[in-house]
Structure 1
Amino acid sequence: MFQGESLVGFLKWAVNDKNRQVFSVTNKCLEALVKAVSGELKKKGAAYKLWDLVKEIGEKGDGVVTTKMLNGIISLFSRLGKGMAGYEVFSKFEDLSCVTNADTYYYTIEALCRWSIYDHVGLVCERMLSEGKLPIGGKVGIIIGFLCKGGMEKEAHSVYLSAKEKKIYPRQAAVNFLITSLCDRKKNDVDDVRLALKMLDDFTDGEKRKCAIKQYTCVIQGLCRTNDIDRAKSLLAKMIDAGPPPGNTVYNTIINGLCKLGDMVEAITIMRMMEDRGLKPDVFAYTVIMSGYAKGGEMEEAAKILAEAKKNHCKLTPMTYHTMIRGYCKLERFGKAVKLLEEME
């Protein structure tokens, strides 16, 4: 059996101007060659020689080179870890009289993102969306995942919207990953978080919504980190009404956001709402509220919360005591601070 590299050498000899009258290269012949070389992943040299041969044949304008062949070469370079070589093939489609299709964009984005070459991905995505050539649902989900991993959440969201418009539905795991990526705590991008919030409207199926507690929680956290407490409270109300049922983490996040803004009345209201729904406030919730009161110099109110925390929890954290001690020291009520320090020890 001939090796792919040897076959490439033979065809290169066959297409030489001196031999063209005797030998002719057909679509089937070239497709078979691409398939043969694609099976030899350890031989990068053969892949480059194949690409040089295909370019040479394609530039003659005989119509032998096809979109399917070029897609196969892009995929080959992707698997070989040569993302920029794959991008070169993509950029040559027009020169070789070939038309891109959905697989072309999928393989090109895969080739670039798979090896963390994100400089050209935005342009490829823009062309894919403008031409409306999205791959099938599973591959759309993979593209969304690649883009999110590369920090290109907005581009991933554009792909999601375009797919939704065309009734192409990526896997739920990809949608969930996009929502959590848009709420990335390292970026705290207000616009990204609101895009994620809007995406939650697509959870119309009760069962899907029930399983999406992580995504709802991420959006709540993103809204609170960007000081959009009103939208966080509105989302909490929707969760209570239609699901998924909010847990301690959701309530704690909103309570923390309210305390940072100094809205202690509303923070207490949310904690009582939490209790009414059968959830027990944890030590973190009590500590956050104490901290909010302490920052405002309201140590009597903070002391009441401390007493409630002791009643409901047999053991408090050092942070709980530190919060109260700092509050008393700030008001120069050192006796109270020393008493708590002794209690803590």
Structure 2
Amino acid sequence: MAIFRSISRNPFPSFHYFPKPTSFSSSSSPSALSGDDLVSAAVSTLKHHRSKSRWSHLRSLVTASKGNRLTSSQFSEIALQLRNNPHLALRFFHFTLHHSLSSHSLFSYATVIHILSRSRLKYHALTLIKSAMCAFPEASRSTPVAILEVLIKTYRACDSAPFVFDLLVKACLESKKIDVAIEIYEMLKSKNVLLRTSTCNSLIELVSKSRGCFAGYDLYREIFYPDVDNVGANGPSNKGVSPNANTLNVFMVGFYREGLVDKVEVVWEEFAWVGCVPNMYCYNVLMSAYSDDKRMEDAMRIWEQMENKGLNHDAVAYNTVIGGFCRVGEVGRAEEFYREMVMKGVESTCITFEHLIIGYCRNRDIDSAMMLYKDMCRKKFSPESSTVNVIIRSLCDKNGISAALEFWRVAEKRHDAVLELENYENLIRGLCWEGKMEEALELQAEMVVKGFEPNSEIYGVFIDGYMKLGNETTANKLREEMLIKLASSE
């Protein structure tokens, strides 16, 4: 996709920042070298000397010259003549940096960045941009903007590649410099230089995550459709860079996480308006939004659309509908999709089992839940603490306190699960009801270690337990302790 609107590969005016060096024989005396002669000798050394002697000879050449080091301009002139060998140019840069053989400036950094970019060495170019951002923090304007200005000035002389500006924006984003990245985008836009869609997506995504989905959506409209206030039925018209499915995915996911299903639907409709084809991920996000909102009819409509588009349902899609039906209490429908999932050879995941286990527990079918839990363990899956707590709660509700406590001890060791305060109370209540006061006290001590202080509910359970056993003395002591504790907390 072209990133320039009605401009050539080199969008900036032709300026000659680096004078052409004159020819020079490497046999001349290093002590007499200066200016263009030094540049030519250095280029000859780098291109024609063997690698073992190249660097020592170059060091002697530079240190014996006037000033004992290269100026930023001289370094750039040398590097430009190495542009067809970008790795050598980069080694030359690091060599001069390590041995302090050049007074580097943003211009010399920019020269090497351009050389690396034109050779598609994106990682090295990006790394050097980040180094420049750290090396010149005292720039009169923000350093990334200063780097941009130098990159623009040296762009044509270095015969660079357009995505060098995308790399600068990416460096800003990785450094969380959002405002600077936006400023750079606007400066480039004023020069009719358009960033790649993937770069725009990254910028929009970071804005959405840090400032909210609506801020990201506003930036999306500004970047892709600056002249369109409202997207009409026939879709917007934009002659510049265009959004893709990943662009809209950012907002679908963001609005979905904030529970704004209506906004997810708005973004979904925009796929057709902007001429994007939604992918599997898009369908799954929309279906998840409907399922979480308990709109299973709408979720199944999307399921059918996926089939009509020839998209094979993956584990995420199956887990979505299984979880949705379990959430609305239709565990039977969830089982049907689970069986279909197995028959079609789609690998079930830990989430598949957790959805079904929670569904069975909600339907008070603890036996089926435990069967699935055992099957889950055989497959080496480890449930989340929340699922473990749902099972314990269901066991407690069926007065299976001993079974619940035994299950908890195994789950704690096997899955590193964390017990919720509600289940500490459930287990302690059940133990006290059964008269197992010592076990209840041990669990209460464990509860304190985990950071849960005993409340009036816990005190009341112990008081009732001791009264039931006829131990009024201990019960009265606990009652006094509870009153003192509650009074001190007020």
> Shared fold (TM-score greater than 0.5)?
yes
1:270-321, Cα deviation, whole Å (9 max, x unpaired): 33443444444434223223323434xx32x242243145346514615323
- Of 135, 142, 145, which residue of structure 2 is paired with 1:123? 142
The answer to whether the 8 A contact 1:229-1:258 is kept is yes
1:31-65, Cα deviation, whole Å (9 max, x unpaired): 558746998642445545x57xxxxxxxxxxxxxx
Q: CA deviation at 1:10?
A: 7.5
Counterpart of 1:143 in structure 2 is 168
Matches within 5 A, 1:125-274: 125=144, 137-170=162-195, 172=196, 175-183=197-205, 187=209, 189-191=211-213, 193-194=216-217, 197-198=220-221, 199-201=223-225, 212-274=244-306
| Structure with max Cα Rg | 2
Q: Using the TM superposition, name which of 185-194 and 278-287 deviates more.
A: 185-194
Q: Which letter does structure 1 place at the counterpart of 2:335?
A: L
Matches within 5 A, 1:1-345: 1=28, 2=30, 3-9=61-67, 35=77, 41=93, 42-44=95-97, 45-47=99-101, 50=103, 72-73=107-108, 75=110, 113-114=130-131, 117=134, 120=137, 123-125=142-144, 137-170=162-195, 172=196, 175-183=197-205, 187=209, 189-191=211-213, 193-194=216-217, 197-198=220-221, 199-201=223-225, 212-295=244-327, 298-299=328-329, 301-311=330-340, 314=343, 315=345, 317-318=348-349, 319-337=351-369
Q: Using the TM superposition, name which of 113-122 and 143-152 deviates more.
A: 113-122
Q: Distance in 2 between matches of 1:77 and 1:138?
A: 15
Secondary structure (helix, strand or coil) at the match of 2:134 reads coil
Q: Which letter does structure 2 place at the counterpart of 1:150?
A: S
1:171-190, Cα deviation, whole Å (9 max, x unpaired): x2xx4134135425994641
Query: Unpaired segments of 5 or more residues in structure 1?
Result: 12-28, 52-69, 80-108
Q: Distance in 2 between matches of 1:207 and 1:285?
A: 35
1:225-267, Cα deviation, whole Å (9 max, x unpaired): 3444333322222224553221221111122233334444543
Percent identity for Structure 1 against Structure 2: 13
Q: TM-score, normalised by structure 1?
A: 0.58
Q: Distance in 2 between matches of 1:124 and 1:225?
A: 35
Cα gap change, 1:128/1:229 in structure 2, threshold over 3 Å: closer, same or farther?
farther
Secondary structure (helix, strand or coil) at the match of 1:167 reads coil
Q: Distance in 1 between matches of 2:373 and 2:74?
A: 80
The answer to whether the 8 A contact 1:153-1:182 is kept is no
Q: Which letter does structure 2 place at the counterpart of 1:7?
A: S
The answer to whether the 8 A contact 1:188-1:222 is kept is no
Cα gap change, 1:74/1:304 in structure 2, threshold over 3 Å: closer, same or farther?
closer
Cα gap change, 1:185/1:6 in structure 2, threshold over 3 Å: closer, same or farther?
same
Q: Distance in 2 between matches of 1:341 and 1:187?
A: 36
Cα gap change, 1:36/1:112 in structure 2, threshold over 3 Å: closer, same or farther?
closer
The answer to whether the 8 A contact 2:106-2:150 is kept is no
The answer to whether the 8 A contact 1:213-1:246 is kept is yes
Q: Distance in 2 between matches of 1:332 and 1:128?
A: 64
Q: Distance in 2 between matches of 1:162 and 1:224?
A: 33
Q: Distance in 1 between matches of 2:207 and 2:294?
A: 22
Query: Please, what is the CA RMSD of the aligned residues?
Result: 4.8
Total equivalences in the alignment: 273
Q: Distance in 2 between matches of 1:337 and 1:32?
A: 75
Secondary structure (helix, strand or coil) at the match of 1:169 reads coil
Q: Which letter does structure 2 place at the counterpart of 1:179?
A: N
Q: Distance in 2 between matches of 1:160 and 1:151?
A: 15
Secondary structure (helix, strand or coil) at the match of 1:243 reads coil
Q: Distance in 1 between matches of 2:110 and 2:291?
A: 53
Q: Distance in 2 between matches of 1:279 and 1:216?
A: 19
The answer to whether the 8 A contact 2:334-2:356 is kept is no
Secondary structure (helix, strand or coil) at the match of 2:194 reads coil
Q: Using the TM superposition, name which of 112-121 and 272-281 deviates more.
A: 112-121
Q: Which letter does structure 2 place at the counterpart of 1:123?
A: S
Q: TM-score, normalised by structure 2?
A: 0.44
The answer to whether the 8 A contact 2:261-2:289 is kept is yes
